[in-house]
Amino acid sequence: MLRETGLNKAKFPSIKTIDGFNFALQPTVDEAKIRALANLDFLRSAENVLFLGPSGIGKTHLSIALGYEAVKAGYKVRFLTTQELTSQLYASLADATFQRELGRLGKYLSLDKTASSHFFQVINQAYERQSVIITSNRPFQEWSGVLHDAVIVTAILERVLHHAHIFNMKGDRYRLREYMQAEEKKVMPLS
Q: How far is the CB of 188 from ligand ADP (least distance, A)?
A: 16
Site residues for ligand ADP, 147-176, by CB under 6 A, read 176
Q: If contact means CB under 5 to 8 A according to the sort of partner, which of Mg ion, ligand ADP, none does residue 125 touch?
A: none
Q: How far is the CB of 113 from Mg ion (least distance, A)?
A: 27
Is residue 52 within the footprint of ligand ADP (CB under 6 A)?
no
Q: How far is the CB of 91 from Mg ion (least distance, A)?
A: 21
Site residues for ligand ADP, 14-43, by CB under 6 A, read 16, 21-22, 25-26
Site residues for ligand ADP, 119-148, by CB under 6 A, read 135
Closer Cβ to ligand ADP, 1 or 182, answer by number:
182
DSSP secondary structure, the chain, as one string: -HHHHHHHHHT-SS---STTS-GGG-TTS-HHHHHHHTT-HHHHTT-EEEEESSTTSSHHHHHHHHHHHHHHTT-------HHHHTSHHHHHHTSTTHHHHHHHHHHHHHH---HHHHHHHHHHHHTTTS--EEEESS-GGGHHHHHS-HHHHHHHHHHHHHTEEEEE----HHHHHHHHHHHHHHHSPP-
Q: If contact means CB under 5 to 8 A according to the sort of partner, which of ligand ADP, Mg ion, none does residue 116 touch?
A: none
Select the span of 50-58, 66-74, 97-105, 118-126 touching ligand ADP (CB under 6 A): 50-58
Select the span of 52-60, 68-76, 122-130, 151-159 touching ligand ADP (CB under 6 A): 52-60
Is residue 66 within the footprint of ligand ADP (CB under 6 A)?
no
48-52/164-168 β-pairing: parallel
Q: If contact means CB under 5 to 8 A according to the sort of partner, which of ligand ADP, Mg ion, none does residue 26 touch?
A: ligand ADP
Q: Distance between CA atoms of 102 and 100, rounded to whole angstroms?
A: 6
Question: What is the binding site for Mg ion (CB under 5 A)?
Answer: 59-60, 135
Q: Is the dihedral of CA 120, 153, 148, 135 positive or negative?
A: negative
Using CB under 6 A as the binding criterion, the count of chain residues that bind ligand ADP stands at 15
